[in-house]
Chain A
Amino acid sequence: MQLGFLVDLHLCMGCKGCEIACKVENEVPLSTWRLRVKYVDVGTFPETKRTFTPLRCNHCENAPCERICPVSALHYIENGIVNIDKERCIGCAGCVMACPYGAIYIDPETQTADKCTYCAHRIASSMMPACVVACPVEANIFGDLEDPTSNISKYIQEHRDVQVRKPEKGTNPHHFYVGASQAHLNPLASERKEGYSLFNNITTLPLGGHH
């Protein structure tokens, strides 16, 4: 079994239901996110549109976080999920530096690394991840990539514009996007201007690094 995720960006309307469901399900502390929806505004007024991209751990086949973790706190489980053992983690932040997707953070309460686990605890009980359940438009498609009859496999077969983030990194992500442009997936394809954030002045989070 190889579990994977696919987000159809044609369907996503940026409601952040997945983000909230994830926070509640996993008790993610304030100021941190396992899953977040990025907004990018494209075009010049009045010809503008807002794009939405849910971002979470890509559960890479060749995960840099797993490789660099000195104590195997980050590890693969048999269904392909890159899981984390918070009791084992020493908080060296090597995984934070290695993940090309910025998907790992240091939990301010436990002072250990944390990230999306595809709700591994729910899957163990044959339930879907919380974000999948919460999505009102079924933009999140989750399933076994090795099963050709699964919804995710069919979706990948039927759509030509299936992409992953940063394929050049050689991480082989198990998280796919349909309907994505460069502005959705490439951080260099959009600017970050002061005063443009809907969170006003908050651009960085106090994650405990030593400056």
Chain B
Amino acid sequence: MVHESLAATHAVVTLDVALPDIFWGWYVTMNMWAKSIGTGLVFMLFLLLKKNSSEMNGLRTPVMIASFIFMNIFLVFTWLDLHQMWRMWHIFFYPHWTSAITVGAWMATLFVGLEFIMIVVMLRKDKCILTKNPTGFFDKTLFWVTLLAIPVTLYTAGIMAEATARELWQMPTESAQMILAATLSGSAAIILLGGSKLSVETKNFFGAILGLSALMAFIIYMSEYIFGAMKAEEVAAILHYVKGDGEYATMFWIGQWVAYILPMLFVVLSRVSNSSSLLNLAAILAIVGLWVVKHVWLVIPQLLPLS
């Protein structure tokens, strides 16, 4: 490893100031976090439809509205992060299809548009001119929206993969993490939104999704943490920021505990003690912790000098 040559060369950079530091910061974290919840809720609503559609009553509209709100938070922060935000329309009039940003922007717009139609249909049940059976329309459209939610969830991993400068972000792991973030936060959000409308059995079902998503995401992060450095020097250098007394070590472990370890523990305890309060606590922790986890993983590759 070239890093080991330092002992012999004592090479020190004495003049090179153009280090951009953290360029994609917490606005982009908000983007990823809100999108996970937005698409995750759609995944969970579809699962509920397939598992026990009778429990959908009273949940269709509020869950879709919650998803719509989080998708709009995601869009607002994406927009705010642009340095030329009033040129956003260029993405639709001069699209460049090799860019995951373009593909994602188009799909997310279509996704949010469909959500809007579904909400309007449900809110205007009696006066709806689009269909005579709003609930049936909602359930049928939900299938297509769920299908669209998959690439909408994944495209951010595509952007990270196209960021050639950031060796840490690899498409296979990032796409898995994006889907798991959606199932983790989606299940957590529906547990909290469902409240008494969901049966104990259904809550336990979503609790299991929450716990398993946390477990799998944690395994992937730990795999990267332990084994990532063995394949690539750049990854090793980046992971130093979350190891030992690294700049983001504390934040990394806070994220892992709050997003994954504690929710796993509380999901198990909630099943043992039949406690919905513990399940709610697990859900809240997962949603909060996910933001921290996402932020650390977003920031650390940007700390590495590129020149």
The answer on a CB contact under 8 Å between B19 and A196 is: no
The answer on a CB contact under 8 Å between B14 and A70 is: no
Instruction: Choose among A36, A98, A192, A198 the residue that contacts B165 (Cβ–Cβ < 8 A).
Output: A98
Min distance, Cβ B43 to any Cβ of chain A, angstroms:
26
Instruction: Choose among A64, A169, A191 the residue that contacts B11 (Cβ–Cβ < 8 A).
Output: A191
Chain A residues whose CB sits within 8 angstroms of the CB of B10 once the complex forms: 42-44
**A93 and B23 in contact, given A39-B16, A70-B102, A182-B5 (Cβ under 8 angstroms):** yes
A105 to B12, CA, bound (A): 24
Min distance, Cβ A17 to any Cβ of chain B, angstroms:
15
Q: Which residue of B lies closest to A193 (CB)?
A: B12
**A210 and B164 in contact, given A41-B12, A71-B95, A102-B20 (Cβ under 8 angstroms):** no
**A91 and B163 in contact, given A205-B17, A207-B21 (Cβ under 8 angstroms):** no
The answer on a CB contact under 8 Å between B6 and A189 is: yes
Cβ of B233 under 8 Å from chain A: yes
Chain B residues whose CB sits within 8 angstroms of the CB of A186 once the complex forms: 2
Min distance, Cβ B84 to any Cβ of chain A, angstroms:
4
Cβ of A99 under 8 Å from chain B: yes
The count of chain B contact residues (Cβ–Cβ below 8 Å) is 58
The answer on a CB contact under 8 Å between A191 and B6 is: yes
Cβ of A96 under 8 Å from chain B: yes
The answer on a CB contact under 8 Å between A71 and B90 is: yes
Q: Which residue of A lies closest to B101 (CB)?
A: A70
Chain B residues whose CB sits within 8 angstroms of the CB of A118 once the complex forms: none
The answer on a CB contact under 8 Å between B99 and A67 is: yes
**A55 and B9 in contact, given A39-B15, A70-B102, A197-B14 (Cβ under 8 angstroms):** no
- Of the candidates B10, B85, B95, B234, the one having the most CB atoms from chain A within 10 angstroms of its own CB is B10
A100 to B19, CA, bound (A): 12
A196 to B12, CA, bound (A): 8
The answer on a CB contact under 8 Å between A187 and B307 is: yes
Instruction: Choose among A64, A94, A102 the residue that contacts B18 (Cβ–Cβ < 8 A).
Output: A102
Instruction: Choose among A32, A39, A202 the residue that contacts B13 (Cβ–Cβ < 8 A).
Output: A39
The answer on a CB contact under 8 Å between A102 and B306 is: yes
Chain B residues whose CB sits within 8 angstroms of the CB of A202 once the complex forms: 17
Chain B residues whose CB sits within 8 angstroms of the CB of A68 once the complex forms: 98-101, 159, 162-163
Chain B residues whose CB sits within 8 angstroms of the CB of A94 once the complex forms: 99, 101, 159, 162-163
**A209 and B306 in contact, given A38-B16, A70-B99, A191-B6 (Cβ under 8 angstroms):** no
Q: Chain A: interface residue count, which band?
A: 35 or more
**A188 and B307 in contact, given A64-B165, A97-B166 (Cβ under 8 angstroms):** no
Cβ of A125 under 8 Å from chain B: no
A169 to B307, CA, bound (A): 14
Q: Which residue of A lies closest to B21 (CB)?
A: A204
Which residues of chain A from 176 to 193 have a CB within 8 Å of any chain B CB?
182-183, 186-193
The answer on a CB contact under 8 Å between B23 and A97 is: yes
Q: Which residue of B lies closest to A38 (CB)?
A: B16
Cβ of A69 under 8 Å from chain B: yes
Min distance, Cβ B260 to any Cβ of chain A, angstroms:
25
Q: Which residue of A lies closest to B98 (CB)?
A: A67
Cβ of A22 under 8 Å from chain B: no
- Of the candidates A33, A71, A169, A207, the one having the most CB atoms from chain B within 10 angstroms of its own CB is A71
Chain B residues whose CB sits within 8 angstroms of the CB of A198 once the complex forms: 14-15
Cβ of B224 under 8 Å from chain A: no
Chain B residues whose CB sits within 8 angstroms of the CB of A97 once the complex forms: 23-24, 163, 165-166, 302
Cβ of A3 under 8 Å from chain B: no
- Of the candidates A97, A105, A208, the one having the most CB atoms from chain B within 10 angstroms of its own CB is A97
A188 to B162, CA, bound (A): 22
Min distance, Cβ A49 to any Cβ of chain B, angstroms:
10
Min distance, Cβ A155 to any Cβ of chain B, angstroms:
23
The answer on a CB contact under 8 Å between A69 and B82 is: no
Instruction: Choose among B28, B100, B305 the residue that contacts A187 (Cβ–Cβ < 8 A).
Output: B305
A-B contact pairs, 12 of them (CB 8 A): A41-B14, A71-B87, A90-B84, A90-B87, A90-B90, A94-B163, A100-B164, A102-B307, A187-B307, A202-B17, A207-B20, A207-B21
Residues of B within 8 A of A (CB): 1-3, 5-6, 9-28, 80-85, 87-88, 90-91, 94-96, 98-102, 105, 159, 162-166, 233-234, 237, 302, 304-307
Q: Sorted from nearest, which 10 A-B pairs have the closest CB atoms?
A: A91-B83, A102-B306, A64-B164, A39-B15, A190-B11, A70-B101, A111-B83, A209-B23, A91-B84, A38-B16
A38-B15, A90-B87, A99-B165 are known contacts; what are 4 more A-B pairs with Cβ within 8 Å?
A: A68-B159, A68-B162, A90-B90, A197-B14
